[in-house]
Amino acid sequence: MRAIEYRPTSDDVLAATRLAWRLRWLAPRRLAMTLARWLLLGALFGAATSWAAGGDAIGAARVVALCAAVQVAMLGAGWLLLPLRTRRRIAREPALRAERGLRWDEEAIEIRLGATITRRPWSTLTTTRHGTQLVLRRDGQVILFVPARVLAPAQCDDLVALAHGR
């Protein structure tokens, strides 16, 4: 059985938080749906206010553009505030600083977070590598980010291969 133990640094947690944010908000489908929703709301609001004020289509288009700009500004502000929010979260939640461990063989992976140990069969997991993080997912949901710095390249390849059934 292969194993690693590590303690995440604040940089690891920030990198995982940034990756989770990108996976959540910048996934093409979600981003398109969010922008479409805001544009639709802006169009409805713009049409209603333009019609009520006796305006024209240009006024409605301005409101739509304003709603799109607000959405982009909110996404940008969320990205810029991630380091501050992450530092506060690390200070508030000791579990983020707790020792972690992974043990795996051909059948399953055992994940230890603090005092909690979970064993998951490979058939229920997928793994992908995103820059400095190895991402473990179960049913499409992220269950763990593992910093690539704690894994040897062979270990990282081994985890990905086992999760993909090779």
CATH number of residue 124's parent domain: 2.30.29.30
pLDDT above 90 coverage of the chain, percent: 23
Q: Are residues 24 and 83 in the same domain?
A: yes
Which of the given ranges, 56-60, 73-77, 103-107, has the highest pLDDT on average?
103-107
Q: Are residues 28 and 68 in the same domain?
A: yes
Instruction: State the average pLDDT for the chain.
Output: 84
Q: Are residues 82 and 124 in the same domain?
A: no
For residues 122 and 109, the answer to whether their CB atoms sit within 8 Å is yes
Q: Are residues 74 and 148 in the same domain?
A: no
- Report residue 75 as tokens: 């996404």
38, 63, 94: which is the final residue of a domain? Answer: 94
**Domain span at residue 155?**
2-8+97-165
Give yes or no for residue 58 having a pLDDT over 60: yes
Q: Which amino acid is at 86?
A: T
Q: Are residues 85 and 107 in the same domain?
A: no
73, 94, 115: which is the final residue of a domain? Answer: 94
Strand ranges in 10-158 using DSSP code E only, listed in sequence order:
100-104, 108-113, 116-121, 125-130, 133-138, 141-147
Q: Are residues 63 and 114 in the same domain?
A: no
Q: In whole angstroms, what is the distance from residue 34 CA to residue 38 CA?
A: 6
Q: Are residues 41 and 112 in the same domain?
A: no
79, 94, 109: which is the final residue of a domain? Answer: 94
Q: Are residues 22 and 57 in the same domain?
A: yes
Q: What torsion do the CA atoms of 47, 49, 50, 51 make, to the nearest 10 degrees?
A: 80
Would you mind telling me the total number of residues written for the chain in this entry? 166
Give yes or no for residue 166 having a pLDDT over 60: no
The number of domains in the chain is: 2
Contacts of 113 (CB under 8 A, 6+ apart): 95, 98, 100, 144
Q: Are residues 21 and 38 in the same domain?
A: yes
Q: Are residues 31 and 51 in the same domain?
A: yes
pLDDT at residue 95, rounded to an integer = 85
Q: Are residues 115 and 157 in the same domain?
A: yes
Q: In whole angstroms, what is the distance from residue 79 CA to residue 145 CA?
A: 19
Contacts of 12 (CB under 8 A, 6+ apart): 145, 147, 149
Give yes or no for residue 50 having a pLDDT over 70: no
Q: Are residues 84 and 134 in the same domain?
A: no
Q: In whole angstroms, what is the distance from residue 74 CA to residue 131 CA?
A: 25
Give yes or no for residue 51 having a pLDDT over 70: no
Provide the pLDDT confidence category of residue 121 given band limits of 50, 70 and 90: very high
pLDDT in tens, 59-92: 667 777 777 788 789 888 988 999 999 999 999 9
